[in-house]
Amino acid sequence: MSGRLQFDTETSRIIESLYLTPDVVAQQRQVLTALALREGERVLDIGSGPGLLAHDMAASVGRDGRVCGIDISEDMLAMSRKRWRRSTLDRIPEGRHNQPTLPG
Ligand SMILES: C[S@@+](CC[C@H](N)C(=O)[O-])C[C@H]1O[C@@H](n2cnc3c(N)ncnc32)[C@H](O)[C@@H]1O
């Protein structure tokens, strides 16, 4: 056992529901404000999780911008891709799986 938290389907679902609570939604809004993204910018979201912030960042950078979310967990990526597919954005984020080469 590595001691690393496993972001499997069940854990991913729990994290996603936490990320939809008013406190976390407000915190993500602050992050988005602090980033002050502009149209056309490119963003790499390392550990993009359920993809909520990546989705909002994609809205900020517009159709000429690009957001790529990478995550160690396939379950998290599957969850974010599902969210992004339901989106009405012109250009949705891309999601990629990465090996755990970044510190967990
Ligand atoms: C709490 S979530 C982050 C949510 C996201 N940043 C947001 O604000 O919506 C943390 C994520 O980091 C990912 N993660 C942990 N270690 C990682 C690593 N070494 N490389 C890539 N992703 C990693 C996990 O799988 C998990 O989805």
Reduced to 3 states, what is the DSSP secondary structure of residue 56?
A: helix
| Residue of 5, 7, 70 to mutate, ligand 1, most atoms within 8 A of C-beta | 7
For ligand 1, atom 15, name the residue with the nearest CA. 104
* Domains observed in the chain: 9-86 (3.40.50.150)
Q: Which of 72, 79, 81 most suits a substitution to test ligand 1, by most atoms within 8 Å of the C-beta?
A: 72
What percent of the chain clears pLDDT 70, i.e. is strictly above it? 91
- Does 12 sit in the ligand 1 pocket, CB within 6 Å? no
The closest alpha carbon to 49, from 71, 29, 68, belongs to 71
Tens digits of residue pLDDT in 23-58:
999 999 999 999 999 999 999 999 998 899 999 999
Atom 6 of ligand 1, nearest CA residue: 48
Q: What is the pLDDT of residues 64-75, one digit of tens each?
A: 999 999 999 888
pLDDT at 18 over 90: no
Instruction: Give pTM, 2 decimals.
Output: 0.85
How many angstroms separate the CA atoms of 91 and 104, rounded? 29
Cβ density class 58-76: b for 16+ within 10 Å, e for less: bbbbbeebbbbbbbbbebb
Q: What Cα–Cα distance (Å) separates residue 98 from each residue in 32, 61, 73, 87, 103? A: 24, 23, 8, 24, 12
Residue 22 has pLDDT above 70, yes or no: yes
pLDDT of amino acid 1: 45
The per-residue pLDDT of the chain, averaged, comes to: 87
